[in-house]
Structure 1
């Protein structure tokens, strides 16, 4: 009688760099590059991420205007300064919509499991994820102007409408894999399928929940991501408030100055992904590239924020440091933010969803902790806020440097069944 037996994991699957070198040799000359379906998919995800971020940040910009509708002028002053300091301490000001944000980003990594070539993975993911800083730039720059000119409800109409447009693009132009895409070229489809043939599961397997939550590489991604999101929350939410309270910049200039760092970060995110793939092409180890990108995206970025209270001479220096911090933070897109695709490409969507949901705890904790620090110590409140952010960020980074990996984990390798 024929029986089923389990074979060992596919040989060589744990060595991403070896797969990458093989794939590079297989690249046919006629396979489209920049003007291709896979890059078009990255561009669609870029705008979807932009829409997700703008709709979340616009909540911060308009929240005070919605609550304090009796004072029109105070609405305008608060709308472009994030949430004011006092509002974080109150029980009714917890940003309840933020936990839902993580589910919007995790699903896209299931797309890259079947669409991203190993030697292009960093840049494709960077193109898609760079929509987030561009969304921050757009919301911070335009949100205040819309609220001031025609009222805060129109901010939801504008950004909600653009979100619907991007959803339609996603529904009509995005497909699960190259084989099901009706407009992809034959050469590109065959190349992607053949390049990822070793990584695509041949049959359904149960999700190894216990193994996942016992995995130190996975927890290193979660903990480091939490520290990085703590940094990003300080930059996004408290940068406008800091500029306004310390330098007394008026509402229109404040909106421009707050948004400018994110425009620079948008370009850096894309360049960081290209740089990561370039280093991989020069035979750098994958884990080395991931950790270099993660260190650059955390340590210098948080150090520039810590230095802000000691640079009160003029707001130009403050904006310069904020811009550098925001720009450097985007290197993490080629580091921890796509590391789940390395350690478990078959389960990357689930892992990314879990890690982002855990890291998004920062969006809830930062307002409460920072509001308490600023209210208890008005003189050194900003110093304490920034030093706490630096400590959390550094601890997460050290944990990732020690336990982070980039090889496919044993519990994520494909096991084939054959008949005897």
Structure 2
């Protein structure tokens, strides 16, 4: 291998490292979804108390979104992601200590962990704006976002094994240690821009230097001004904000409550609960990456960016709504897992809808825009997760929870089809 003829591009390595960072982020985040089942049984928590514990993370995650985007824009995705990894891994490891202290202390710890993970999405968009070519965006972004379902899948499968084999505290210790180890590789391998990377090939450096998006990204490093007025006056930005919220509504509810949902079927043991909870996330990972490949291919064949983004988002939200509607009245675990696989699987199309749209409409400020839209995208983790616990305590069923999600999905589709854009709103 030579500097001019690498066997694997540095762009591919950056995408892989971002995927792994997102994967570990979600392993640590989702571990509580399984852990809370064992913890609630040990401490005697109600569903409402479970909801508060599960949603506490999103309190910190929410308030730190916009500051996290600004900090990432100021200091770069490499540094901010690395520090974030160390912080949220520490919070994961101290979770058992907090839980044995009190529910209040556990909630504070989860809030602190949420603050640590708040900048992850902005870091990924920051690095994408500096490392990805325009025709690679859909495919690369879906791979990086693919860390969400894959991390969830791994967490659900391994956490049940760790709890059964060792204990629920051991699960948090193991996952926290994983983050510390990965942080060492992150700082060693990842660089903020191609210009700063000593290992990149000469050909790839020249390719990125000649790309319009690379030039814009480098320029943004010198010009830190964020055109907030233009962003907030743009209908397409608000379409992106609302669709980040709508796409995340059912995602975060299922992220927090899926193990508890399947635990309600008495015939399922905790091992089966982990398996049933993991399957929908596998479908989300597969379909999401296929959607990215299809989107880039359609763009290369002449489809406009806005047409591709609208098509992918509509398929994702409408298809997911159909699966949730079915899930609201099924009565067996097999029927439930099929319906939820259908719902989460098709939701993967939104990764090629609203997902890359930050880079389409604000290529120089995608990191800041991601912090803004993910603020709205985090609200379901607070409102939806708490509301789910309250609804279950009152009604004893998930039916209304799923029906509310259907309505929210359809509202998102209507807004997206009317106001989404594929052209930059700021230059």
TM-score range, shorter chain: 0.7 to 0.9
1:40 maps to which residue?
13
Tell me which moved more, 336-345 or 157-166: 157-166
SS at match of 2:216: coil
After superposition, residues 177-326 of structure 1 pair within 5 angstroms as 177-196=193-212, 199-200=216-217, 202=219, 203-204=222-223, 206-246=225-265, 248-312=267-331, 314-326=332-344
Equivalent residue in structure 2 for 1:351, among 365, 369, 379: 369
Q: In structure 2, what is the Cα distance between the partners aligned to 1:152 and 1:340?
A: 38
Q: In structure 1, what is the Cα distance between the partners aligned to 2:34 and 2:46?
A: 10
Equivalent residue in structure 2 for 1:93, among 29, 50, 53: 53
**After superposition, what is the alpha-carbon deviation per residue over 1:264-321, rounded to whole angstroms, capped at 9, x for unaligned?**
3222222221111001011000011111111122111121011113332x43232122
Equivalent residue in structure 2 for 1:61, among 31, 34, 38: 34
Q: In structure 2, what is the Cα distance between the partners aligned to 1:181 and 1:274?
A: 28
C-alpha contact (below 8 Å) 1:31/1:191 kept by paired residues? no
1:129 Cα deviation (Å)? 1.0
Q: In structure 2, what is the Cα distance between the partners aligned to 1:243 and 1:267?
A: 22
Q: In structure 2, what is the Cα distance between the partners aligned to 1:324 and 1:70?
A: 35
C-alpha contact (below 8 Å) 1:129/1:333 kept by paired residues? yes
Q: In structure 1, what is the Cα distance between the partners aligned to 2:218 and 2:28?
A: 36
C-alpha contact (below 8 Å) 2:36/2:50 kept by paired residues? no
C-alpha contact (below 8 Å) 2:313/2:353 kept by paired residues? yes
Tell me which moved more, 284-293 or 60-69: 60-69
Q: In structure 2, what is the Cα distance between the partners aligned to 1:319 and 1:390?
A: 17
- Cα distance 1:97–1:243, how it changes in 2: closer, same or farther (>3 A)? closer
1:205 Cα deviation (Å)? 5.0
2:110 maps to which residue?
none
**After superposition, what is the alpha-carbon deviation per residue over 1:56-97, rounded to whole angstroms, capped at 9, x for unaligned?**
1112322354465468xxxxxxxxxxx9734356xx536322
SS at match of 2:14: helix
Q: In structure 2, what is the Cα distance between the partners aligned to 1:268 and 1:94?
A: 27
2:175 maps to which residue?
159
Larger Rg: 1
1:247 Cα deviation (Å)? 6.2
After superposition, residues 391-410 of structure 1 pair within 5 angstroms as 391-409=407-425
Q: In structure 2, what is the Cα distance between the partners aligned to 1:209 and 1:357?
A: 15
SS at match of 1:170: helix
C-alpha contact (below 8 Å) 1:44/1:166 kept by paired residues? no
C-alpha contact (below 8 Å) 2:358/2:369 kept by paired residues? yes
CA RMSD of aligned residues (A): 2.2
1:17 maps to which residue?
none
C-alpha contact (below 8 Å) 1:127/1:270 kept by paired residues? yes
1:130 Cα deviation (Å)? 0.4
Equivalent residue in structure 1 for 2:162, among 122, 129, 146: 146
Q: In structure 2, what is the Cα distance between the partners aligned to 1:247 and 1:66?
A: 18
Equivalent residue in structure 2 for 1:334, among 343, 352, 362: 352
C-alpha contact (below 8 Å) 2:30/2:152 kept by paired residues? yes
SS at match of 1:336: coil
1:170 maps to which residue?
186
TM normalised by structure 1 equals 0.81
1:367 maps to which residue?
385
Q: In structure 1, what is the Cα distance between the partners aligned to 2:342 and 2:30?
A: 21
- Cα distance 1:247–1:215, how it changes in 2: closer, same or farther (>3 A)? farther
**After superposition, what is the alpha-carbon deviation per residue over 1:22-69, rounded to whole angstroms, capped at 9, x for unaligned?**
xxxxxxxx876x821101110111110000011111123223544654
Structure 1: gaps (5+ residues): 1-29, 72-82, 414-420
Give the helix-richer structure, 1 or 2: 2
C-alpha contact (below 8 Å) 2:306/2:422 kept by paired residues? yes
1:355 Cα deviation (Å)? 1.0
1:406 Cα deviation (Å)? 1.1
Q: In structure 2, what is the Cα distance between the partners aligned to 1:263 and 1:103?
A: 25
Aligned residue pairs, count: 365
2:72 maps to which residue?
none
C-alpha contact (below 8 Å) 1:146/1:152 kept by paired residues? yes
Q: In structure 1, what is the Cα distance between the partners aligned to 2:403 and 2:290?
A: 29
TM normalised by structure 2 equals 0.80
Q: In structure 2, what is the Cα distance between the partners aligned to 1:182 and 1:198?
A: 19
2:102 maps to which residue?
none
Q: In structure 2, what is the Cα distance between the partners aligned to 1:287 and 1:84?
A: 46
Q: In structure 2, what is the Cα distance between the partners aligned to 1:376 and 1:161?
A: 39
1:131 Cα deviation (Å)? 0.9
1:118 maps to which residue?
134
SS at match of 1:366: helix
Tell me which moved more, 385-394 or 192-201: 192-201
